[in-house]
Amino acid sequence: MQKIRVVCCGMGAVGSRIARLLLEKEGVEIVGVIDIAKDKVGKDLGEVLELSKKLGVVVSDNVDTVLSKACCDVVVHATGSYLKTVYEQIAPLAKYGVNVISTCEELSYPYLTEPELAKKLEALGVKYAMTFLGTGINPGFLMDTLVITLTGVCQKIDKIKAVRVMNAATRRVPFQKKIGAGLSVSEFKEKIATRKITGHVGLEQSIGMIASALRWDLDKIQPDQVKPVIAHRQVESDAIRVKKGQVAGIRQTAHGIMKREDVITLDFQAYIGAEEEYDSITIDGVPPVHQRISPCVHGDIATVAIIVNSIPKIMNAPPGLVTMKDLPIPSAAVEDMRKSL
Ligand SMILES: NC(=O)c1ccc[n+]([C@@H]2O[C@H](COP(=O)([O-])OP(=O)(O)OC[C@H]3O[C@@H](n4cnc5c(N)ncnc54)[C@H](OP(=O)(O)O)[C@@H]3O)[C@@H](O)[C@H]2O)c1
């Protein structure tokens, strides 16, 4: 049986790790690479990944050149968080009949913030018999898919709360930057207000996905303001030193409100120096469920894993736009990937 053929689009911190994992796996091959970064275009993938050998796949900035040459089953896409930006990158892939898995946070559940684009992607998928999926560790798993899975043992649910606390020092540098680590409080406020940094993207999408799975008709989804977490002592990562009084990262919360009750609360905290890292989910229901993963799941490693593990799942998915709650339960593809088809 032929190997699964993958094109990687976006060779940044996450995309290059996805490519490295794919190279280690059996039953799958990288047949093309797309990125617009000037320091990558025209280079062999081996060179971009800082491997000691060439791989015979050259980075191109032209989607059509890559996809018209390479027969491909899946494009793994990791360039941006907002569907408005990413739409023009992924929509043209549909006509090649290739499935698309993206780390774009808004794509994980786009029906609330980008309903028109979601409709267009659904129509393109159906027209060209291919599937779009947005996933990752969060959104994509910890604060939505896993929550939904745990509700499967409940007879009745009153409230759900999920908390994620992580030490951002161990995460990729683009992530540390987008949570404002090392900025003064005024710089942080200015950059958040002007969207030069985004904080975490995805809480609204996660709440939307949970509510949809439970058929809860929410009155609204209410994101709170992104709050800076201030360092009480000097803390640092390999890339960023945060002095006492500077911003170490963020705390972001969002609420799903139904009949004036806060029925879904998501609390996301990521900052350099967080001492206790964990993921917890509490379901007030019958029976009550409390799950705690300690230390928390490593976001970068897990995002790369869930993207790669989703390759066989998307190849078997119905055409159109799907979310994680529409696919079979997530599972690792640790053997030859063709066995998972
Ligand atoms: N759902 C989740 O759990 C999850 C987890 C991790 C990451 N993410 C998201 O995934 C995205 C990628 O993360 P990252 O840390 O790898 O970001 P990054 O390091 O900034 O990498 C993005 C790469 O994509 C390239 N790029 C930008 N526009 C492109 C285009 N039109 N075509 C091809 N390549 C393009 C960039 O080139 P330039 O540098 O020249 O712009 C860069 O090389 C981010 O939005 C991040 O928030 C989501």
Q: What is the mean pLDDT of residues 326-341?
A: 97
Does residue 137 line the site of ligand 1, with CB under 6 A? yes
User: Cα 212–195–234 angle (5° rounding)?
Assistant: 100
C-alpha 17 – ligand 1 centre gap (Å): 12
pLDDT tens by residue, 87-135:
999 999 999 999 999 999 999 999 999 999 999 999 999 999 999 999 9
The protein residue whose alpha carbon is closest to atom 17 in ligand 1 is: 12
Q: What is the mean pLDDT of residues 161-178?
A: 95
Residue closest to 211 by CA, chosen among 164, 166, 262: 262
Rg (CA), the chain: 20
pLDDT at 90: 98
pLDDT at 40 over 90: yes
pLDDT tens by residue, 18-34:
999 999 999 999 999 99
pLDDT tens by residue, 177-233:
999 999 999 999 999 999 999 899 999 999 999 999 999 999 999 998 899 999 999
Does residue 12 line the site of ligand 1, with CB under 6 A? yes
Instruction: For the beta carbon of residue 256, count every other beta carbon within 10 angstroms.
Output: 26
Among positive and negative, which fits the CA dihedral 163, 264, 78, 308?
Answer: positive
Residue closest to 326 by CA, chosen among 212, 182, 184: 212
Confidence band (pLDDT; 50, 70, 90) for 70?
confident
Q: What is the mean pLDDT of residues 287-299?
A: 97
Backbone angles phi, psi at 118, to 5 degrees: -60, -45
Query: 99-138: buried (b, 16+ CB within 10 Å) or exposed (e) per residue?
Result: bbbbbbbbbbbbbbbbeebbeebbebbeeeebbbbbbbbb
Kindly report whether the peptide bond that precedes residue 287 is cis, defined as omega within 30 degrees of 0. yes
Does residue 81 line the site of ligand 1, with CB under 6 A? yes
Following CA atoms 19, 7, 124, 208 in sequence, which dihedral angle do they give, to the nearest 10 degrees?
0
Q: What is the mean pLDDT of residues 308-319?
A: 98
Extended strands (E) in 28-130: 28-34, 59-60, 74-77, 99-102
pLDDT at 324 over 90: yes
- Closest atom of ligand 1 to 300 CA is 6
pLDDT at 32: 97
Instruction: State both tokens at 89.
Output: 């990158």
C-alpha 45 – ligand 1 centre gap (Å): 17
The predicted model scores a pTM of 0.97
Does residue 15 line the site of ligand 1, with CB under 6 A? yes
Contact present, 307 and 76 (Cβ < 8 Å): yes
Residue closest to 158 by CA, chosen among 292, 268, 259: 259
Residue closest to 195 by CA, chosen among 104, 81, 89, 272: 81
Largest CA distance in the chain: 60
In whole angstroms, what is the distance from residue 227 CA to residue 57 CA? 43
C-alpha 144 – ligand 1 centre gap (Å): 22
Per DSSP, what are the bridge partners of residue 242?
A: 235
pLDDT at 236 over 90: yes
pLDDT at 130: 98
Average pLDDT, the chain: 97
